[in-house]
Amino acid sequence: MQFQQLLYFVAVAETRHFTRAAERVHVSQPSLSQQIRALEKELGAELFSRARGNVALTDAGEALLPLARRILADTETARHEVQELAQLRRGRVRLGATPSVCTGLLPDVLRAFHDLHPGIQLLIEESGSHDLVRELARGALDLALVVLPLPSASPALTTVELLHEDLVVVSSAAVAPPGRPLRIADLEGEPLVMFRHGYDLRELTVAACRAAGFEPSFTVEGGEMDAVLGFVRAGLGLAVVPSMVAARARDLRVTALARPGLSRTIALAHRSDVAPPRAARELQKVLLATQTAARGRARSTPRTPGPSTSGPSTSGPSTSGQATPGQTASASDSV
């Protein structure tokens, strides 16, 4: 089995067409077909069923495809790792993050990392935790910022908790302040702006409302983070969002949730069987240092006695530095 054969196999599997696959990998169609036949002979099984105008994977092909993609991805990672020059003057980091983390946490972190290593290319994949875990498993990402607990049936991953933050309620600045933290029960009958299906925030909010004995009422649903905040600004309703997102939405009114409230844990994850590239390890250091400094500032800031009814809730302590391989739990996608 040769590397080029796997490359040609994946190209055919993804295009479902031998000629287009040959064009993608820049070889002649007869040469590509010959290498695919040689691979099938080596494996002792046909990988494609070839009907006129229709190329489909066989069961053997379906089994090989994720493995071939992972081998190719690992090879590409190895190539970039070896080619990195001293002092990190060149390289790349493929970082996955949920949408709310991209909005709330990453801008300052990436700015700090870029200042230290301006030659490193940053490739950001924005998606839910379920998709990010899958991309980590197949080698398409070096690191991912995900919401714990991880989706069920997760591959062997090492996770390091970065922060534990409260969720808060945001509303239009024109809405009168409630004068106290809101209970989940206070949301009954209130118009809510709700994220699309697949958002962990949606599932968490809906579950909390049902636990309080009512079904939430949506005025608008199906949005991404920026859209939801925009709908709230327009006065279409309230939304439950992470406190670090609310801290950046200075034109919105922010109200804490009464204890026990709602919270989430953000962690940095990577595959346990492959060490992240050097550039990714440097980004991990910046992430950990940034969060350690943020917790230090939070501890040194005096707090006013009594609950706050305006502004994001103070994040609780994280357990950064404790790596947990292969955590599994809820299968809901996360933001």
Cis before 149 (ω within 30): yes
Check residues 305 and 5 and name the one with the higher pLDDT: 5
Give the span between the Cα atoms of 249 and 230, in whole angstroms: 10
Q: How does pLDDT run across 101-157, given as a tens digit for each residue?
A: 888 889 989 999 999 999 899 999 998 888 899 899 888 999 999 988 876 656 689
Whether 322 is in a domain gets the answer no
DSSP 309: S
Whether 86 is in a domain gets the answer yes
The full DSSP string for 183-215 is PGGGGTT-EEEEEPTT-HHHHHHHHHHHHTT--
Helix axes 3-15, 59-83, angle to 10 degrees: 120
Indicate whether 257 and 169 sit together in one domain: yes
The pLDDT, as a whole number, for residue 153 is: 58
DSSP-derived pairing of the beta strands 263-271 and 143-148: antiparallel
Other Cβ atoms closer than 10 A to 207: 12
Residue 303's pLDDT band (boundaries 50, 70, 90)? Answer: very low
How many domains, in total, are found in the chain? 3
Residue 94's pLDDT band (boundaries 50, 70, 90)? Answer: very high
The tokens describing 295, both together, are 């917790």
pLDDT at 87 over 70: no
* Residue whose structure tokens are 């989706």: 151
pLDDT at 83 over 80: no
Indicate whether 150 and 290 sit together in one domain: yes
Residue range(s) defining the domain that contains residue 174:
165-261
Q: How does pLDDT run across 173-192, given as a tens digit for each residue?
A: 888 888 899 999 999 999 99
Whether 172 is in a domain gets the answer yes
Q: How far is CA 209 from CA 47, 183, 214, 215, 240, in A?
A: 49, 10, 6, 6, 11
Indicate whether 200 and 57 sit together in one domain: no
pLDDT over 90 percentage in the chain: 52
Tell me the pLDDT of the chain averaged across its residues: 83
Indicate whether 197 and 249 sit together in one domain: yes
Residue 278's pLDDT band (boundaries 50, 70, 90)? Answer: confident
Residues 320 and 296 sit within 8 Å (Cβ to Cβ) = no
Q: How does pLDDT run across 202-235, given as a tens digit for each residue?
A: 888 999 999 999 999 999 998 888 899 999 999 9
pLDDT over 70 percentage in the chain: 83
The pLDDT, as a whole number, for residue 151 is: 67
Whether 175 is in a domain gets the answer yes
CATH number of the domain enclosing 35 = 1.10.10.10
Residues 50 and 39 sit within 8 Å (Cβ to Cβ) = no
**Residue at 218: amino acid letter:** F
The pLDDT, as a whole number, for residue 300 is: 57
- At residue 5, what are phi and psi to the nearest 5 degrees? -65, -40
